[in-house]
Structure 1
Amino acid sequence: MDPVDVSRLKEGEVNLGTSIMAVSYNGGVVLGADSRTTMGSYIANRVTDKLTHISDRIYCCRSGSAADTQAVADVITYYLDMYGVESESGHVGTEMAANLFSQLVYGNKDRLSAGIIVAGWDKKKGGTVFNVPLGGGVFQQPWAIGGSGSSYIYGYCDSTWQPGWGKEQTLEFVKNALSLAMSRDGSSGGTIRMVDITEEGVTRHFIPGNELPELSAKLV
């Protein structure tokens, strides 16, 4: 992969103070995110779509600088499109996409503010989740959370998630976890967007702000 110089905005930077997550399950993977984009204490956008299509059955969630993360996602999408055209199989795996994100973030770690969760389904590994935090490491995990809201829900996720879940349990888990993070974190809010990726295809889910589950009431 050729080196790419991506410079971040220094003043007036729009930040994805955010709550993002991805969870693998038996047969697929679910990604989810809130929709609030902040600029300091100012809410720049209440309905941002932070679930970014990268390749066939591969998406990413973005946290950090909105400009940085979008630029990184655009570059990786370009590389994967070129690989799909030039390779005989045309098949792009989720692990390949995550490693490309890692190379780009690590190579520009002094200039970027970008935390990425890459998740998708491929024929080789099924549904997989890779966390690419600030600095450019890459870690495969059954579930990953990120953004400013993640610090509020580590305990909930650790105690609630169970291996062997199916689609509906995973969707409910992601919805509840994000709703809890949004209720605690001032930089997260708006609506919840989720994407479910399986061998059959990609399904989008949208939960408006007035229909978020009140998880704190359920825990009393």
Structure 2
Amino acid sequence: MSHPSMDDMNLNAPHSMGTTIIGVTYDGGVVLGADSRTSTGVYVANRCSDKITQLTDNVYVCRSGSAADSQVVSDYVRHFLHQHTIQLGQPATVKVAANLIRLLSYGNKNMLQTGLIVGGWDKYEGGKIYGVPLGGTVIEAPFAIGGSGSSYLYGFFDQAWREGMTKDEAEKLVVKAVSLAIARDGASGGVVRTVVINSEGVKRNFYAGDTLPLWHEELEPQNSLLDILAAGGDGPAPMNE
């Protein structure tokens, strides 16, 4: 039996966050959520990446698509918002952050392959979510979903999201939705990370993969051989020549 070559597995492909990213508004703020799998072809290059990136003290962005593209857009926007905050003497609004991402994404739409969700809280408009999909348009919405896993979630969100949710209800919805996408989407996986942003500040939460609910025909999590070896456990005996 011949083994697949490196070209067959597409291991030289760009790092891509075939992803599930979510932003949800609730009564008082927003919850952002994401899985943690970064792929290179069929190879999982990073199983615990952090796709929710801080732009300012009160605004974060969820990144999907090309890892490199989303990182460079976030870096530029963070720099511009820092200058903007110094000039104004007060924090940037969520709308300003989303508009800067729109300008960069639209102005470079032929070169960038990244979809982003901007979420945050400011004293003027409260919690806001903006989706900036491929091409660079900007869409304000009570919730936004993106990445390859979002295909499985549109009907679920139409049914499950409602206005006036509490913080806990919104976060439970985000974690459930990401775990549903992980169950169906091969490019989504790992852990679930959330960021809650409101008038009190920012709180990050982490949900390990083996604590997530299992859905239809999903297999129980298995220990990785790498984890067993790193822990010094009794791994498989080496083969003798």
Q: TM over 0.5, yes or no?
A: yes
Give the Cα separation in 1 of the matches to 2:216 and 2:104: 39
- For 1:119, the equivalent position in structure 2 comes to 119
In the TM superposition, what whole-angstrom CA distance separates every residue of 1:84-114 from its partner, at most 9, and x where no partner exists?
Answer: 1112x32200000000000000000000101
- For 1:165, the equivalent position in structure 2 comes to 165
1:57-68 → structure 2 map (5 Å cutoff): 57-68=58-69
RMSD: 1.1
Please report how far the alpha carbon of residue 57 of structure 1 lies from its aligned counterpart in structure 2 after TM superposition: 1.1
Equivalent position amino acid for 1:213 in 2: P
1:1-220 → structure 2 map (5 Å cutoff): 12-87=13-88, 89-216=89-216
Give the Cα separation in 2 of the matches to 1:144 and 1:215: 23
| Structure ranking higher in strand proportion | 1
- For 1:4, the equivalent position in structure 2 comes to none
Q: Is the 8 A contact 1:18 1:188 kept in 2?
A: yes
Q: 1:63 to 1:31 in 2, by over 3 A?
A: same
TM-score w.r.t. structure 1 length? 0.92
In the TM superposition, what whole-angstrom CA distance separates every residue of 1:31-59 from its partner, at most 9, and x where no partner exists?
Answer: 00000000111100000000000001100
Q: Is the 8 A contact 1:59 1:118 kept in 2?
A: yes
In the TM superposition, what whole-angstrom CA distance separates every residue of 1:136-183 from its partner, at most 9, and x where no partner exists?
Answer: 000100000000000011111111111110101001100100000000
Q: 1:161 to 1:216 in 2, by over 3 A?
A: farther
The percent identity for this pair of structures is 49
Give the Cα separation in 2 of the matches to 1:153 and 1:213: 16
The SS at the match of 1:55 is: coil
Runs (5+) with no aligned partner, structure 2 = 1-11, 218-241
The SS at the match of 1:115 is: strand
Give the Cα separation in 2 of the matches to 1:78 and 1:216: 44
Give the Cα separation in 2 of the matches to 1:12 and 1:187: 14
- For 1:5, the equivalent position in structure 2 comes to none
The SS at the match of 1:178 is: helix
Runs of 4+ in structure 1 displaced over 4 angstroms? none
- For 2:3, the equivalent position in structure 1 comes to none
The SS at the match of 1:127 is: strand
Equivalent position amino acid for 1:13 in 2: P
Give the Cα separation in 2 of the matches to 1:156 and 1:45: 28
Runs (5+) with no aligned partner, structure 1 = 1-10
The SS at the match of 1:60 is: strand
Equivalent position amino acid for 1:186 in 2: G
Please report how far the alpha carbon of residue 215 of structure 1 lies from its aligned counterpart in structure 2 after TM superposition: 4.8
Give the Cα separation in 2 of the matches to 1:76 and 1:187: 27
TM-score w.r.t. structure 2 length? 0.84
Give the Cα separation in 2 of the matches to 1:207 and 1:71: 27
Give the Cα separation in 2 of the matches to 1:75 and 1:91: 17
Q: Which has the higher contact order (CA 8 A, sep 6+)?
A: 1
